[in-house]
Structure 1
């Protein structure tokens, strides 16, 4: 596919940050870790990765706004465009030596995500998409799975940790969903969960209490691969609500009814 200048910048930034993260990942036991909150850690590697990404993106597009997990929000002189960045999605996995984490970069234009990159550096899998141009992983075009039976489908979600208030809702979801499906996976990185739906590895995904940087890039990649994506509460905006339901077209209706308890 022909890549836009913006997407090329995003891919370069993701790869550069991913290489730095991979280098530190090999010495994970030596990372200097500080507490950011219950069950949620931030590492030196995380902060360094965000600095790398910000330098690459803002040098290329200095007028764009910025929203990132560690650095917060900064308005740009161009009010219509904003980078949305998670430099290390799956921090807890990373700090425990589990090779399932990613760099996530999205570009928002006039409130709509128009480009997204999710880079799994440990496996060298680069997922990317632009609005209206399809979704890709490295050189391969992505397409959601063709499964049309819930009992043959597997789903992904995040399990609340550290006493979060949404734990009862998730346990109720699982009680309704597990008997009707082939299983649920919890791998701990929402951006990769959405990319895996795009690749047909999962048939669907849902989660509550996500931040825009957790899902902005992954949502576009999933949509461009043919997934249906809706907010948990019908009529809301996904990035505002922070809760999403995503699946292939064939099973979305049944899946959404279970999650919404309709």
Structure 2
């Protein structure tokens, strides 16, 4: 019953935040910069996180929350915030709008991402796409669904048959993997929302996703979706995933080692932490 209560609270929080986001999707936003002109935050991001925090703390006042808008900008601050909370008994990991740049420009590929980690292990993941009204939900050991229907990762085994997804790395030299992998696969999509791209891996719409320089709130919920849909998630060097991983590879499992090998050969594999 407690697990159901946590799930219900997360769904209610995502639904209200998603309604706010959808209502403002095509309006002019108040935009501020974090670390650069491509690292954006809007008043809707902040209001969305306030909604989610209110829902969680009303039901679970003793739980911890790690939300993107509650952390100072920059990788060092993100790493420090996670290190302080990662082993909490109940840690909610929240991205109120994953894909803010898309949201600002009216490109309809963004979502609400809410995960619950208990003693460092993600046990609940919800990714809500408010523009398509798609609910991607996973609970540890119980599988993953999209709008109530069971999800499974793709069955693709040949790289030449795979549609992959990724994100542009913040440092140009980390783009070597993209140029190495692109000729080996059918194509690559870069859509601008880590959480939603992971959800699409879980739903079998793309065969894999990799990206450098992500934060826990970008991927925690999506990682559980992929794993519970039968996929595999590691860092880009193939080492096990945990909340500190900032260089991520998620696939249907069949192609995982092949992709990890290509990425490793393209450039020296980075370490699996945020430091």
TM above 0.5, one fold? Answer: yes
Question: Do the aligned residues in 2 keep the contact of 1:204 with 1:248 (CA within 8 Å)?
Answer: yes
Gap regions ≥5 residues in structure 1? none
Matched, 1:177 2:214: no
Q: CA deviation at 1:236?
A: 6.1
Cα distance in 2 for partners of 1:169, 1:130 equals 33
Q: Any conservation in 2 of the 1:238–1:244 contact (CA below 8 Å)?
A: no
- Per the alignment, residue 272 of structure 2 pairs with none
- Tell me the alpha carbon deviations over residues 38-96 of structure 1, each in whole angstroms, 9 at most, x when there is no partner: 111110111000000000011111111110100135989x9411100000000000000
Of the candidates 251, 260, 264, which is equivalent to residue 256 of structure 1? 260
Residue number in structure 2 paired with 1:18: 18
Task: Give the superposition deviation at 1:248.
Answer: 1.0
Aligned alpha-carbon RMSD (Å):
1.8
- SS of residue in 2 equivalent to 1:223: helix
CA distance in 1, matches of 2:110, 2:88: 31
User: Which residue among 29, 35, 38 is the counterpart of 1:37?
Assistant: 35
1:168 aligns with 2:155: no
Count of aligned residue pairs for this structure pair? 252
Q: Provide the secondary structure at the position in 2 that maps to 1:135.
A: strand
- The CA deviation at 1:199 is 0.3
Among 137, 142, 151, the alignment partner of 2:160 is 151
After TM superposition, give the deviation of residue 138 of structure 1 in Å: 0.8
Question: Is 1:118 equivalent to 2:122 in the alignment?
Answer: no
Within 5 A, what are the aligned runs for 1:11-90? 11-27=11-27, 29=28, 31-38=29-36, 39-72=38-71, 79-90=88-99
How many angstroms apart in 1 are the aligned matches of 2:241 and 2:135? Answer: 27
Partner of 2:7: 7
SS at match of 2:24: helix
Report how far residue 234 of structure 1 moved: 4.4
In the aligned structure 2, how far is the partner of 1:219 from the partner of 1:234?
14
Work out the CA distance in 1 between the residues paired with 2:128 and 2:92. 16
Measured in 1, the distance between the counterparts of 2:109 and 2:253 equals 27
Shift of 1:179: 1.2
**SS of residue paired to 1:12:** helix
Query: Quick one: distance in 2 between partners of 1:239 and 1:232?
Result: 14
1:203 corresponding residue in structure 2:
207
2:188 equivalent to 1:189? no
Instruction: Give the match's secondary structure for 1:241.
Output: coil
Which of 131, 136, 139 matches 2:145? Answer: 136
| 1:8 aligned counterpart, secondary structure | helix
